[in-house]
Amino acid sequence: MNAPAPSSSRAPVLEVFSSVQGEGAFVGEAQVFVRLAGCPLRCGWCDTPGSWLVRETPARISGTDGEREEEPWASPFQVLTWILATEPREPRTISLTGGEPLLWPGFVRGLARVKGPRRLHLETAGAHPESLASVLDGVDHVSLDLKLPDDLREPVPVEVEGPEGEQPWGEATPASASDWELARRRCLTLVADHDACGKLIVAGGRAAREFLPLLEDVARLAPNLPVVLQPVTPTAGVGAPDQDLLTELLEDARDLGLAARVVPQVHKALGIP
Ligand code: SF4
């Protein structure tokens, strides 16, 4: 199998802003968020559908001296200047999110080189293990989604509206339950010895047994990975899980020897970006 073509070191930026991390292992920490455009997945509970497409929409930079718009296609160094303009005081950990940042591994590697003293945290759907392998050395923490295939609609290839020659990483996106199983297992193997957490989004109406294969894969391939069970914040007709489901999932994780905890989306509760 041929490797995907190397991706550009530039990426389409949607927004750069300072806020409080609302999810995962670093919940509550002051961070700078760099959100990239482009995602081929279609999670039923996605709360950032505006990040799916790559358009020529200006990037929104929320600097300490006010908000401004910039050209969306940016190099890692350009983004570093936006981060500097956004940090209120000392350098903050960067949360690189999307969309799916692993569509732009050349940019991720570039940002790792220029970020200075900041930690670089990657938020990923866990659909592109080859891309993850290529950036892992430069990333200080990986927040890896553990996707339930039934939560996903058909993937949609990302088409770029923008400068000629700029294309996302060409690695195939999982489209079936067996594709997802393969991608999940490869990603878990990659992060097993890395600073990382697994994030399992729990929607209402699901049964605990549906999540068991995911938890069993963690227990087998990355047994030290902290697991965050994140109840869905009700959106687009998808409801929150009830307490019984969360309790059962926690006990299933504990039975497998995993360190799991329930963490709702704190930024949603606080009404901040
Ligand atoms: S991977 Fe993230 S951005 Fe993409 S559809 Fe799912 S929740 Fe939305």
Ligand 1 centre distance from Cα of residue 203 (Å): 14
Instruction: Write the burial class of residue 268 (CB in 10 Å: 0-12 exposed, 13-18 middle, 19+ buried).
Output: middle
Instruction: Write the burial class of residue 204 (CB in 10 Å: 0-12 exposed, 13-18 middle, 19+ buried).
Output: middle
**Closest C-alpha to ligand 1, atom 6:** 43
Show the tokens assigned to 206: 């699901």
43 lines ligand 1 (CB under 6 A): yes
The confidence score (pLDDT) of residue 7 equals 58
Ligand 1 centre distance from Cα of residue 47 (Å): 8
**Closest C-alpha to ligand 1, atom 7:** 46
| Mean pLDDT score, 192-204 | 97
| Mean pLDDT score, 27-50 | 96
Ligand 1 atom closest to the Cα of residue 49 is 8
User: Residue 268 — very low, low, confident or very high, per pLDDT cuts 50/70/90?
Assistant: confident
User: Residue 26 — very low, low, confident or very high, per pLDDT cuts 50/70/90?
Assistant: very high
User: Residue 189 — very low, low, confident or very high, per pLDDT cuts 50/70/90?
Assistant: very high
| CATH class of the region 11-270 | alpha beta
174 lines ligand 1 (CB under 6 A): no
Instruction: Map out the domains of the chain as residue ranges.
Output: 11-270
| CA 14/CA 209 separation, integer angstroms | 37
- Evaluate if residue 5 carries a pLDDT over 70: no
Ligand 1 centre distance from Cα of residue 248 (Å): 26
**Amino acid at residue number 208:** A
Ligand 1 atom closest to the Cα of residue 51 is 3
Q: What percentage of the chain exceeds 90 in pLDDT?
A: 88
| CA 196/CA 218 separation, integer angstroms | 12
Ligand 1 centre distance from Cα of residue 90 (Å): 30
Map residue 248 onto helix, strand or coil.
helix
DSSP for 34-69?
EEEP-----BTT-S-GGGSSB--PPEEEEETTEEEE
51 lines ligand 1 (CB under 6 A): yes
Sign, CA dihedral 125-127-133-134, equals negative
Q: What is the pTM of this model?
A: 0.95
The confidence score (pLDDT) of residue 266 equals 87
| Mean pLDDT score, 244-269 | 95
126 lines ligand 1 (CB under 6 A): no
Task: Choose among 146, 49, 106: nearest CA to 35.
Answer: 49
User: Residue 269 — very low, low, confident or very high, per pLDDT cuts 50/70/90?
Assistant: confident
Ligand 1 centre distance from Cα of residue 145 (Å): 10
